[in-house]
Every structure is written in C-alpha cells, then in structure tokens.
Amino acid sequence: MPLTCRGRVRGQEPSRGDVDDALGKFSLTLIDSLDTLVVLNKTKEFEDAVRKVLRDVNLDNDVVVSVFETNIRVLGGLLGGHSLAIMLKEKGEYMQWYNDELLQMAKQLGYKLLPAFNTTSGLPYPRINLKFGIRKPEARTGTETDTCTACAGTLILEFAALSRFTGATIFEEYARKALDFLWEKRQRSSNLVGVTINIHTGDWVRKDSGVGAGIDSYYEYLLKAYVLLGDDSFLERFNTHYDAIMRYISQPPLLLDVHIHKPMLNARTWMDALLAFFPGLQVLKGDIRPAIETHEMLYQVIKKHNFLPEAFTTDFRVHWAQHPLRPEFAESTYFLYKATGDPYYLEVGKTLIENLNKYARVPCGFAAMKDVRTGSHEDRMDSFFLAEMFKYLYLLFADKEDIIFDIEDYIFTTEAHLLPLWLSTTNQSISKKNTTSEYTELDDSNFDWTCPNTQILFPNDPLYAQSIREPLKNVVDKSCPRGIIRVREESFRSGAKPPLRARDFMATNPEHLEILKKMGVSLIHLKDGRVQLVQHAIQAASSIDAEDGLRFMQEMIELSSQQQKEQQLPPRAVQIVSHPFFGRVVLTAGPAQFGLDLSKHKETRGFVASSKPYNGCSELTNPEAVMGKIALIQRGQCMFAEKARNIQNAGAIGGIVIDDNEGSSSDTAPLFQMAGDGKDTDDIKIPMLFLFSKEGSIILDAIREYEEVEVLLSDKAKDRDPEMENEEQPSSENDSQNQSGEQISSSSQEVDLVDQESSEENSVNSHPESLSLADMDNAASISPSEQTSNPTENHETTNLNGECTDLDNQPQEQSETEEDSNPNVSWGKKVQPIDSILADWNEDIEAFEMMEKDEL
C-alpha cells in the first residue's frame, strides 16, 4: 500500500471484494517480481529474493483465493523464477546453491490447485481454499457455479510448464481438458465465446463477447500454447477465434463487445482497459496493421487522461475512471516496437514513464489512480505493476546486451513471467488430444502476415506504420460523439430504414411515436413531466418490429443510466503539497452540493487546522487557529452545511469533513456528495470536501509528524513539479494566511488551464447531447432530453459535413435543467413468449443488465 507504506495483508484491511482474492498470504508481490529482477539485471537482489521466498513463504494458508490469479501470479512467478534460476546456475556465477527449490514450491502449489478441477466439465472452480481445498465445510468455497472464460482458459502455459519441468503430467492434462471443453462450447455459428460459463452445465451465463475483461487471456493462451508446446490444434483454434474476432469485434480502431449468437450486434458502447493487450497479441500472430490502429487509438485516449481509464466510451469519454496501473498498453507498445522497429514506440514508452513518475509516484512506490480525471490516488500497487509494467518498459528500451540472457528463448505468460521455449521438446508424454471438432476453413486473409519481421513487412517503406497511425492522430480530440454504429446488415440489404435510435428519439415527433407504436413501445406521460417507456412485445406489428423495439429499449436503458451517472458531481481531489509530499499524495474526496464549486473556480490552497469542537457543530472556540486555513472537521452530529457555516464564520477558507467511521476508505466505500440542509445554502462561499477516515488519517498523521501541512483542494490534482517544491512556504500562521491569496493568484495561469480542462470534462459529462450520434445518414442529431423539453432549441452535434460543433462551451447549468426530462424506462411484463428470436433477445437483455453490474 504505497500511500500508507505498509504491505496489504488479507484480513487485516477492510475487504475490497473480489480483487482481494489474489491475496493468499503468500508474499504475492515478492513472488510476482522474481523474474523482473533478473530482466533488470538485479541478479544479487534476485538471489536474495529467492532466499526470502524459500525461507518465509507458506502456501498452506486457510485463505480462499482465486484459482486464476494464483496460477498466473504465484505459480507463474515461481516458474519464471525457477526458469531464470536454472539459467543463472548454468552460467556458473550466481545461484550455484539452487536445487530446484522454487520448482518444488510450484509443484506443491499446483497440487493445491488441482481439487478445483473436480467438476464434470473439467472447468475449474473459480476459487479454492489453499489449506482445505473445495467443498469441505472448512473450505468456505465450492458453491460457485460460474467462472469467467479467461479464468478457466488461462492455465495451460503454467500447468504445462509445471508438468514438463517435473514430469508430473497431471497438470498439463487438466489444463488441456478445460481448454477442450471451452472449445467445444464455443458458439458454433459465430465461433465466439461468452464472458462467463457455468462450470457444471457448460451453459454460457454471459453471452457477450470481446477481447477484454473476462476473455482476454483465453485467446492469448491458445496462441502462446501453440508457441510453447508446438501443438497445431491450439493454433487452429486460435485462428478460428481470431477470424471471428476480426469479423465481428474488430471495428477499427475500436474493439467492441458483441453478442455471441448475434455477433453483428454490439453489446456495449464502451471498451475496457484490459483489451489493450490485444495489439500485442496481434503482433505475435503477425497482424500488424490493426495492431497499429488500435494501439494508436488507445494512445490518444492515454494522452487525453494521462492513463487509460478502466473503461471508456466509443467517443472516448471516461466510463470508469479508475486506473490500477495496468501494464497491457506498455506490453503492446513493447511488441509493436519489436515488430516495427519504429522509434515512435520509444516515444510512447517515454510518455508512459513520464506520466507514471509525474502522477503515480509516491514516497513508497507507485499508487494506482483512483480517478484519472482528478489525478487522485488509491492506496494500492498491484503485483502486476512490478511483474509486468516494469519488465515491459525496461525491455522496450533495453538493447540486447543490457539483458544477461537471450529473451527470445522465452515466452511471456499473461503475467509476463518467462518460460523457456525448450520446454516444447521436454517430457512430451502427453499425447496430443484428438479432439473431434472440425476446424473452420479460413480464407487466406487470416494469414496475410504470419511472420512479423521488419524486413518482410516494410521492405521499402519505413513510414508504413506512421501512415497507418496518421489518420488516427485526432481520433479522440476531434471525435464526433458516436454511439453504436453497427446496424444489422440485413436492414441495409433490404433497403429498410434502420430502426429508431434511442438517442435520436423525440417525444414530440409524431413520426417517432408512430415507430414506437409499431415496435410495441408505449409512452406514458407522468405527472411530473417525465415520460416513461414500456414495451409489450406482443403489441408490436411483427416479430422484426418487436426485435427492433427490444433493441430500442436496451439502448434507452443504457442511455438513461449513462445520463444519470453523468449528472452526479465528479469526485474532487485533496493534494498534499507541503514538504515532504510536494503534491505526490492525492486523496479522493467527495464533493459538496453547496459552497464554492471547484470545477468552476480556482482551486483553494492552504494549511490545515483542526476545528474545535472537532465536529464543527457549534461556533468554533479556536477561530484564530482556523482563520485563513482549511479547517478539518469530523463528520457527524449535525448537518454538513452547519459545519460549513461554523468554520466559515471562524474565517476558514475551506473545509474538509473527515468520516467518523473508523477504517472507512474510498477503496471500499462509494463516494457520495455532501448534501445541503434543505434550506438555501447560497451563504456558504467556501469549498467543502469529504474524506473517508483512511484518507483523512493520512492528513492527520502528516500533521502529527510535520505539524504544518498544506493542501490543495481542486477538481483535478495539480501537476507536481519542481515549482511545487519551491513553492514551499515558511511555516508560520501569518504566512499561511497571506500565502493562500497570493499563491492562488500567482498560479492563476495554471489554474485557468485546469479550469478549461475540467469544464471540458464537466460539460461533456453533463450534456447528454454528447451522446448523440454522428449518424449514418448524416442527419443532424439532437439530444433526446433537449428535444423532449424544448424541441425548437436544437443543439446540433454533427452538421451535414460531419464536422463537430463545440459542445465544450455550453454552460453546465443546462444539464441541471435536463434532469427531469430524462426518459425513465421501465419494463412491461411479457404476457407470453413470442418466438425464439424474442426469447433470445430477452437473454441478451439479461446478459446486458448483468454485464452492467459486473466489475472488471
């Protein structure tokens, strides 16, 4: 935990849910970093680290862990460590004492994971108790029915390596069986797989399909299993899936999820950050062009937000603002550089490193971004940061002679652990399974480039890669807001009009109402002015219309939830700027619905002082201490607005309310906005922010240690730079009062920039018209809400030339008046099943709803 400078021990910190399943009290980060040390030529440190693992790590813990995470990070880490330990031993200088101890640990762990495979399908349970296995009452696991495709399909490299290193064939057999089952279960007409599957029945639970979260490394392991094991069946499977991915999911430069049995239909309007590994995999397959395109698109998103947000929309807005320092984009950058030799990718790597140092580096490591928009941190540095990010970034810049072994002799697992390619010819006792499945005949385009190599790819055209990137340079900044652009092929073929899109819908347009009626959708005007949509599929004119109606409702649900989300105030940042923090620690803070709006005004900077009484519920008895400062107040016992008034009357320039629930943290609890007291709060002029107890105690601890602590309250963390260190003020109270005004004005230029940036975000976020579609028929598109409330005041987002008008300058107030005009969608009960298409569609909708709830 890089903010509190401690290790995260499962059970000793509040649970963060599924993400904690990677932690098994087995020194995860130490094991996951072993082979990175050798790559970075830290051989001595590697030797010490291996000794520590052998001395301290216990695998027999009564902890329920994720089978997938334990496999890729711990088993993979031990095997990567073993692979490089024997390489070093053979060289004769280091690790001379090593006697396969890491491999023995890996084998012990492998046996601990095996009970997870005790299912009729051969797909593993998602979790296992390291000490008690599955199902036993003490195990506290084994009742799960579903797992993700990547969870069941990302075992073969580690398990096969374990078998081949040790001669114990059982591991490779189990991993192969799971892969065989997934292959058999692929959706036969599309050749795609869903995101989650029932481990007992083999039914797809989530039928959406992409290349990111939940599926990603299943595809990666098919191709890499072929590379490591030389087994053609894995390549044939990979090529069949790859053909389907390029046919349905790839919409260059985007990669968009679709439904497995209706692959022409997009399942989402956003992409997740995990898919950033895909260009790297495309390089390994040899398909460079789309790799360059997607990578460039992702880079543009990164340039806008400094990091790749966990999810972003097809018009490149933030969907989930978190960024846990994931390595996938660095991984793809490394592979693209290897394939093209284009120095552009070194520049990309440089930007990644600069951003990490500038925004994520904290005194005890690198902190995940809680919100890329505010630049706030989370007390978390996942083990993959050292296992993968460091490794790929180092390798990107390393010359051959910088690495003490030949990296080309190894394959990277999904966690970037190194397994030697000579395993392909060792202990091959597992006979290639003769699967009964026929492989799809693929056309030649699938194999256009099968051997990525600079000479072959770009013999006479060193600018080849650049020419592919160039048109994508402005894809993010100049992008017209877009929605789901894929329209059923049949509709076009038959010349039929595409169905009415949710975002085009105008409740006052008689033509639209007619289409709605045809689709079985009725419109109910509620007393408060809102409209409610209800669909009775049975009332549709035909099953095709009913299908269109369902699709329309699905879009409307998504639009509505997106709009609701966008009406919330975004989180704010509290940045500690005084010595020794100098802006490196940024805490996620909840905004207030009253007081100074930090997104519209300058940030507020000042020293902090605790108010007396600490709850701030009565006139302060220490006004001299808080005068000109930012007052700290404890949550509870009176309204937030009352606290704000009391500290304002005492002369405070801002306030931070700290949660009184001990141990609460923005890592585990959702942030909220501090509401007013139901009365007019216009008299409150100072900014107020809320911190959970864990974040608040970082400030309180800093006061205890350094006495004078200065913070910056803003909507987005200010770039830390040497200037901030120079700005450190003499620490007297008077100085603190004086400097707050002075510094605000002296930094106003920067503040303006921040303001511009944030108003851009806010304006985009708060304007549903930014969701409008650059439509296929070039019609100007108008926000549904504005149209509903005032059909004469059209705000075009796309003109007939396809140019975007500037949405960013529209005043934010508009969005507030829009609140009530959002359609509130509800589902009508189906009276009876219509036909199989509609049944299918219902499944889609359920899958869609589940997907929305799902976390990465």
Answer whether 284's CB lies under 8 Å from 335's CB: yes
- Catalytic: 750? no
Per-residue binding string, ligand DMJ, 1-40, x by CB under 6 A, is: ----------------------------------------
**Measured from the CB atom, is 211 or 712 closer to ligand DMJ?**
211
Closest approach of ligand DMJ to the CB of residue 565, in Å: 24
Q: Looking at this protein, which amino acid is placed at residue 297?
A: M
Site string for ligand DMJ, 307-346 (x = CB under 6 A): -------------------xxx------------------
Task: Name the burial class of residue 31, with classes exposed (0-12), middle (13-18) and buried (19+) by CB atoms within 10 angstroms of its CB.
Answer: buried
Catalytic residue among 20, 47, 208, 216: 216
> In the complex, what is the shortest distance from the CB of residue 328 to ligand DMJ, in angstroms, rounded to a whole number?
6
Residue 212 or 583 with smaller CB distance to ligand DMJ = 212
Candidates 20, 287, 310, 545; catalytic one: 310
The number of residues in the chain equals 856
Q: Which of 35, 47, 69, 287 is catalytic?
A: 69
Give the residue with the Cβ less far from ligand DMJ, 10 or 326. Answer: 326
Report the residue number, 217 or 376, with the smaller CB distance to ligand DMJ.
217
Measured from the CB atom, the residue of 299 and 848 that comes closer to ligand DMJ is: 299
CB of 331 to ligand DMJ, least distance (A): 8
CA distance readout (Å), 151 to 10, 154, 231: 21, 6, 22
Shortest distance (Å) from residue 218 CB to ligand DMJ: 10
Neighbours of 687 (CB within 10 A): 27
Q: Are 587 and 376 contacting, i.e. CB atoms less than 8 angstroms apart?
A: yes
CA 574 – CA 586 distance, rounded (Å)? 6
* Catalytic, out of 146, 172, 208, 328: 328
**Strand ranges (DSSP E) for 590-651?**
604-610, 630-634
What is the C-alpha to C-alpha distance for residues 265 and 841, in angstroms, rounded to an integer? 11
In the complex, the smallest distance separating the C-beta of residue 384 from ligand DMJ, rounded to whole angstroms, is 4
Gap between the Cα atoms of 757 and 313, Å rounded: 18
Amino acid letter for position 150: A
Among the listed residues 415, 548, 558, 786, the single contact to ligand DMJ using CB under 6 A: 415
Q: How far apart are CA 233 and CA 223, in angstroms?
A: 10
Site size toward ligand DMJ (CB under 6 A) is 9
| H or E stretch at 85 | helix 76-91
Query: Binding to ligand DMJ by residue 217, rule CB under 6 A?
Result: yes
| 848 touches ligand DMJ (CB under 6 A) | no
C-alpha closest to that of 280 among 214, 231, 327, 319: 327
Complex with ligand DMJ: residue 72 or 468, whichever CB lies closer: 72
Distance in angstroms (rounded) separating the CA atoms of residues 417 and 75: 10
Q: What ranges make up the beta strands (E) of 266-335?
A: 270-272, 311-313, 318-320
754: CB partners within 8 A, 6+ apart:
603, 714, 715, 716, 718
CB 300 within 8 A of CB 471: no
Give the residue among 305, 577, 582, 242 at the shortest CA–CA distance from 440: 242
Helix residue ranges per DSSP H, 507-607:
510-518, 543-566
**Given the complex with ligand DMJ, which of 331 and 708 has the nearer CB atom?**
331
Q: Is 578 exposed, middle or buried (0-12, 13-18, 19+ CB in 10 A)?
A: buried
- Give the distance from CA 456 to its chain's centroid: 35
Spell out, one character per residue from 55 to 94, where the chain touches ligand DMJ: x when CB under 6 A holds, - when not. Answer: -----------------x----------------------
Q: Considering the complex, what minimum distance in angstroms separates the CB of residue 267 from ligand DMJ? A: 20
**Between the CA of residue 397 and those of 68, 321, 333, 400, 818, what are the distances in Å?**
30, 29, 11, 10, 50
3-state SS assignment for residue 377: strand
Task: Report how far residue 497's alpha carbon sits from residue 829's, in angstroms, rounded to the nearest whole number.
Answer: 28
Pick between residue 263 and residue 327 the one whose CB is nearest to ligand DMJ.
327
Is the distance from CB of 189 to CB of 134 less than 8 angstroms? no
> Nearest distance from residue 402's CB to ligand DMJ, in Å?
24
Q: What is the DSSP letter of 720?
A: P
Q: Closer CB to ligand DMJ, residue 415 or residue 667?
A: 415
Chain residues 150-179 in contact with ligand DMJ, contact rule CB under 6 A: none
205 in helix, strand or coil?
A: strand
For the record, the structure tokens of 424 come out as 């392909």
Residue with Cβ nearer ligand DMJ (159 or 607)? 159
In the list 183, 219, 221, 384, the residue contacting ligand DMJ (rule: CB under 6 A) is 384
> Of the candidates 119, 239, 414, 634, which one interacts with ligand DMJ according to CB under 6 A?
414
Closest approach of Cβ 392 to ligand DMJ, in Å? Answer: 11
Judged on CB neighbours under 10 Å (0-12, 13-18, 19+), 833 is exposed
Tell the smallest beta-carbon distance from residue 854 to ligand DMJ (Å).
15
Residue 412 or 582: the one with the smaller Cβ distance to ligand DMJ is 412
Phi, psi of 756 (to 5 degrees): -60, -45
Active site includes 328?
yes
Distance of closest approach, residue 282 Cβ to ligand DMJ, in angstroms: 16
- Show the site string, 270-309: x = touches ligand DMJ by CB under 6 A, - = not: ----x-----------------------------------
- Residue 505 interacts with ligand DMJ (CB under 6 A)? no
Rounded least distance, CB 240 to ligand DMJ, Å: 22
Residues contacting residue 289 through CB under 8 Å, at least 6 positions apart: 449, 468
Catalytic residue numbers, as ranges: 69, 216, 310, 328
Return residues touching ligand DMJ (CB under 6 A): 72, 217, 274, 326-328, 384, 414-415
